[in-house]
Structure 1
């Protein structure tokens, strides 16, 4: 099955778009979900992460303390690279494993940093960007996560600039409006891919 890379900045609405495609019968392999599985209780990445960053990065139950890890890596680019060097290959391998098990006219592969991650370029036939105004993005992230504005700004600033993402995407879904409008766009672009496949 052809693979469509789904991407977008934090708070753009990737999860909502995944659900809308699921309603059309299109499955999605989500790298964020895989990352959560790898760092949950008994997760395959936890031993390597504790060895690299110390046992204090885990909760008492053995799952990753995301807040502590976030503080470590956002303050230091080298630490972030160390984290990525452990997690990214594991996420990539598990993505391939899950994609191989699915059969559909096409499959979504949700990768927040799709354009920054060269390893995914070879397996993605097309890219689909979920995009919205930065003010809306900030509002959604703060509402969802409870993070302070300064931290949300830092996360957004660390991601690829919006204009560059829009330039690199094969298709763009505009998520500035309501759910009905987004749903119409998904049906339109999704129907086009199903027809081509």
Structure 2
């Protein structure tokens, strides 16, 4: 088994790269998706978040109001640390379960948005960073996701810098390119990962 940590800044296109890797045969463990699962209604994770941040982070249907929680934590590092202290251990435990269930010869790609921020590179055989210029991130967040420029900049500032991410990269995938070029780049990376996984 080859374990790959996949990361990139918000708006870098990490989801597209992970989707392409899955098309090639990767086993994907998506930390963002798991982070949503562990705070679904009825979970201990959601109860802990409400204990820490109050009932105002709940939507009318009892689910987590992500916008309300985001408004609290994205501008306050201490509050963000509290949230991470609740969610991250739950995500790690579920990720470990999924990894253990993967075939012995699998390339397991763990999509980890905060890999650089949390010093997690040593947990993986290889780290792949999806890289774009900060201007590209800002454009995608405002144009494609409808964020205000201030909100987009705050979210970018809450993450590692481009330089910090590149410093932990074993492989860099440039996503400031058209989709067909990205597909070709991911295919080349996949071939290398398979060689590593199989010892070929």
TM range (shorter): over 0.9
Contact 2:40 2:63 survives alignment (8 Å): yes
Give per-residue Cα distances to partners, 1:3-61, cap 9 Å, x unaligned.
10000000001110011011101121010011111223334411111111111111122
CA RMSD of aligned residues (A): 1.4
Give per-residue Cα distances to partners, 1:107-148, cap 9 Å, x unaligned.
100101112223x44431110000111111111122343210
Does residue 155 of the first structure (1) align with residue 155 of the second (2)? Answer: yes
Unaligned runs of 5+ in 1: none
User: C-alpha separation between the residues in 2 aligned to 1:101 and 1:34?
Assistant: 15
Unaligned runs of 5+ in 2: none
Give per-residue Cα distances to partners, 1:48-92, cap 9 Å, x unaligned.
111111111111222111111011112322111111111111111
Aligned to 1:88: 88
Aligned to 1:25: 25
Aligned to 1:71: 71
User: C-alpha separation between the residues in 1 aligned to 2:78 and 2:148?
Assistant: 24
Aligned to 2:115: 114
Q: How many residues align?
A: 196
Q: TM-score scaled by structure 2?
A: 0.93
User: C-alpha separation between the residues in 1 aligned to 2:90 and 2:58?
Assistant: 19
User: C-alpha separation between the residues in 2 aligned to 1:46 and 1:23?
Assistant: 33
Give per-residue Cα distances to partners, 1:166-191, cap 9 Å, x unaligned.
12200000001111101111110110
Does residue 16 of the first structure (1) align with residue 20 of the second (2)? Answer: no
Moved more, 165-174 or 6-15: 165-174
